[in-house]
Amino acid sequence: MTESAQPILSVQNLQVTYPNSNKCAVDNISFDLAAGEKLGFVGESGSGKSTIGRSIVRLLPPGSQVNGTAQFAGKSIFDLDPEGLRKFRGEAVSIVFQDPMTRLNPLMTIGQHCMETVLAHEPELGKAGAKARTLAALDAVKIEESRWQQYPHEFSGGMRQRVAIALALVLNPKMIVADEPTTSLDVRVSAEILRELTRLCQERNMALMLISHDLAMMAEYCDRIMVMKDGQPIETGPVKQIFEAPQAPYTQELLKSALHIQASEGSSNPVNTNQPKPLLKLVNLQKNYDLGSGFLQKMMGDTKTIKAVDNVNLELYEGEIFGLVGESGCGKSTLSRTILQLIPATGGTVEFAGQDLAKLSRQEMQSNRRQIQMIFQDPSASLNPKMTIGDSIADVLLIHKIATPEIAREKVLAILDKVGLSPALDFIDRYPNQLSGGQQQRVGIARALITEPKLIICDEPVSMLDATIQSQVLDLMLELKEAYNLTYLFITHDLWLARFLCDRIAVMNKGQIVEFGNTKQIFSNPTHPYTKELLGAAPLLAKQPG
């Protein structure tokens, strides 16, 4: 913040301790934020950056101990009464969470969400005015008017996040707290939304607190940055200073990890596409969804078909890492679910090891699933919070009846060591909430490996992790690939991750493969306009050589 600017938000000596914890989640944090300024908070998971954002809007768990002061426009946030707090949230400060479903009611349409918010704060607008405000907010995040009557489950994860951001914008607040707002979005939409947010900051003199583990995003969209670790500020300063001359060793380590991924010139591993048969072959694969599929709508012919996967043809060969890149809602995750036969294809075939999976019996398909495993985007969502880590991994072996409980425990201990959760005896009896995000994802990788599969489908496996942990997990995946002779289908919206890891890449847009080739070719000489647009939107920490 410049010396002449008056802070709209002033936080002094903030200290937060969660219930049943003896350790401060945030310890003695102070900062000022001016109207129109963009301040970024960066650090690994558990560093306390999200706790700061939740403290500002008073959304901490009941029983949390909060010390220090926080003033917004000269008024104490911590002293607001319930009515003052209700008006403060939304009208003065809005928050965008990492998981959009924390804000969305599955029983309400997207339009109802926005209109309800507007009318609760500005009833004088009436329904017509509220609808106009809603459509303007949805348009700002590139959601078509035709979709405003749809429900959250009819949107992809990235599209739901766009709705959450629209909800934050709809009341024209003076400040937005954005907590990992684009983690589930592709680079193009992420760039569009962040450009929109920063444009609004300038036009409306709106302050922005941006909480993220994405260093390149911070460098491009923030004015100042606070680097955090273990609840404390490690280094604070203007973006240029932090990224060009970091002083703290921890900041230097974060930058080194991020640059390790971005500095890759692309995989140079040869791919033997002359093998007799591909391990996985998709032939004219299609998956359609009907919007407005109620009885009366069908009778009146008032339905619309979305081609989530539109005539896709791909071949994956044993031992390669094949990247599938595209924006949220382009059909990447639908394609993976169709490959696994979790949802039926509308048309076309999925062949694995020469077998048409759609023609297999349930028992035969279960046997094949031992050979095709998946690593999910959110490791905590794929782990049962009531099961220990050891039981969660062993359960896979017991379901497939390929080990006794005694042998399963031995295999679990061995795989925990392989994925870097060592000594394994220190982790096998822990629960998911006792692990960091990076450790949880290592458990997810262990679960995928325990059946000794031939193919692993990785659906955004590191998008929720900070730069240091991302680098560690990706290096681990490369080591495990060699050790187990694995084949990866790597699904991501992050182009730099794809370039770091993949041998070949397919670019997907609106359900179709618009370009594919070896990684170096895609990055050095893209031919399709959409691929060029994606590459142009991807933020870089430093210019790449050449």
User: What is the per-residue pLDDT across 379-413, written as a single tens digit (0 to 9) for each?
Assistant: 777 888 899 999 999 998 998 888 899 999 999 99
pLDDT at position 175 is 94
Beta bridge partners of 266: none
pLDDT at position 346 is 94
Range in 57-61, 98-102, 365-369, 502-506 with the lowest mean pLDDT: 98-102
Range in 118-132, 174-188, 304-318, 359-373 with the lowest mean pLDDT: 174-188
Q: Is the pLDDT of residue 504 over 90?
A: yes
pLDDT at position 153 is 84
User: How far from chain centre, in Å, is Cα 521?
Assistant: 27
- What CATH number labels 280-371+453-537? 3.40.50.300
Angle at 383 between CA 377 and CA 389, to 5 degrees: 125
Locate 173 and state its tokens.
Answer: 């607040």
pLDDT at position 263 is 67
Amino acid type, 505: I
Range in 65-69, 156-160, 444-448 with the lowest mean pLDDT: 156-160
pLDDT at position 541 is 64
pLDDT at position 266 is 59
pLDDT at position 543 is 42
**What are the structural domain ranges in the chain?**
7-259, 280-371+453-537
Compute the distance between CA of residue 522 and CA of residue 498 in angstroms, rounded to an integer.
11
pLDDT at position 292 is 57
Compute the distance between CA of residue 473 and CA of residue 461 in angstroms, rounded to an integer.
9
Of 192, 157, 139, whose CA–CA distance to 534 is shortest?
192
Q: Report, as an integer, the average pLDDT of 120-145.
A: 89
Mean pLDDT highest for which of 18-27, 209-218, 261-270, 506-515? 506-515
Amino acid type, 54: R
pLDDT at position 545 is 36
Q: Report, as an integer, the average pLDDT of 349-370.
A: 88
Say which residues have a Cβ less than 8 Å from residue 185's Cβ, sequence separation at least 6: 158, 161, 162, 193, 327, 328, 493
pLDDT at position 300 is 54
Side by side, the strands of the sheet bearing 304-316 are 304-316, 280-291, 347-352, 355-356
Q: Report, as an integer, the average pLDDT of 190-207.
A: 82
Percent of the chain having pLDDT more than 90? 42
pLDDT at position 75 is 93
User: Do 7-259 and 280-371+453-537 have matching folds?
Assistant: yes
Range in 112-121, 228-237, 455-464 with the lowest mean pLDDT: 455-464
Range in 211-220, 351-360, 466-475 with the lowest mean pLDDT: 466-475
Predicted confidence band at 184 (pLDDT cuts at 50, 70, 90)?
A: low
501 contacts 323 by C-beta, under 8 angstroms: yes
Predicted confidence band at 318 (pLDDT cuts at 50, 70, 90)?
A: very high
pLDDT at position 493 is 82
Compute the distance between CA of residue 391 and CA of residue 195 in angstroms, rounded to an integer.
45
Predicted confidence band at 433 (pLDDT cuts at 50, 70, 90)?
A: confident
Q: Report, as an integer, the average pLDDT of 321-339.
A: 87
Compute the distance between CA of residue 515 and CA of residue 507 in angstroms, rounded to an integer.
5
Q: Report, as an integer, the average pLDDT of 288-293.
A: 71
Mean pLDDT over each residue of the chain, to the nearest integer? 86
Q: Is the pLDDT of residue 144 over 80?
A: yes
Compute the distance between CA of residue 453 and CA of residue 295 in angstroms, rounded to an integer.
43
Cα 66 to Cα 20, 41, 48, 83, 211: the distances in Å are 14, 19, 13, 21, 20
Amino acid type, 545: P
Q: Report, as an integer, the average pLDDT of 225-242.
A: 92
Q: Report, as an integer, the average pLDDT of 353-378.
A: 87
What does DSSP assign to residue 125? G
Instruction: Give the residue, 379 or 118, on which the prediction is more confident.
Output: 118
Locate 425 and state its tokens.
Answer: 């005896």
What does DSSP assign to residue 141? T
Predicted confidence band at 320 (pLDDT cuts at 50, 70, 90)?
A: very high
254 contacts 278 by C-beta, under 8 angstroms: no
Task: Give the predicted TM-score (pTM) of the model.
Answer: 0.70
Predicted confidence band at 90 (pLDDT cuts at 50, 70, 90)?
A: confident
Q: Is the pLDDT of residue 267 over 80?
A: no
265 contacts 316 by C-beta, under 8 angstroms: no
Q: Is the pLDDT of residue 264 over 80?
A: no
Compute the distance between CA of residue 88 and CA of residue 52 in angstroms, rounded to an integer.
17
233 contacts 443 by C-beta, under 8 angstroms: no
Q: Is the pLDDT of residue 119 over 80?
A: yes
pLDDT at position 291 is 67
Beta bridge partners of 504: 322, 518
Range in 219-233, 289-303, 306-320, 426-440 with the lowest mean pLDDT: 289-303
Evaluate the omega torsion of the peptide bond into residue 238 and state whether it is cis, within 30 degrees of 0.
Answer: no
Cα 93 to Cα 164, 199, 263, 465: the distances in Å are 14, 17, 38, 26
Compute the distance between CA of residue 426 and CA of residue 412 in angstroms, rounded to an integer.
12
Instruction: Give the residue, 473 or 40, on which the prediction is more confident.
Output: 40
Of 332, 403, 396, whose CA–CA distance to 366 is shortest?
396
Q: Is the pLDDT of residue 546 over 60?
A: no
Predicted confidence band at 364 (pLDDT cuts at 50, 70, 90)?
A: confident
CATH superfamily of 7-259: P-loop containing nucleotide triphosphate hydrolases (3.40.50.300)
Of 473, 419, 477, whose CA–CA distance to 447 is shortest?
419
Compute the distance between CA of residue 128 and CA of residue 45 in angstroms, rounded to an integer.
43
Say which residues have a Cβ less than 8 Å from residue 470's Cβ, sequence separation at least 6: 213, 257, 261, 462, 497
Phi and psi torsions of 446, nearest 5°: -60, -40
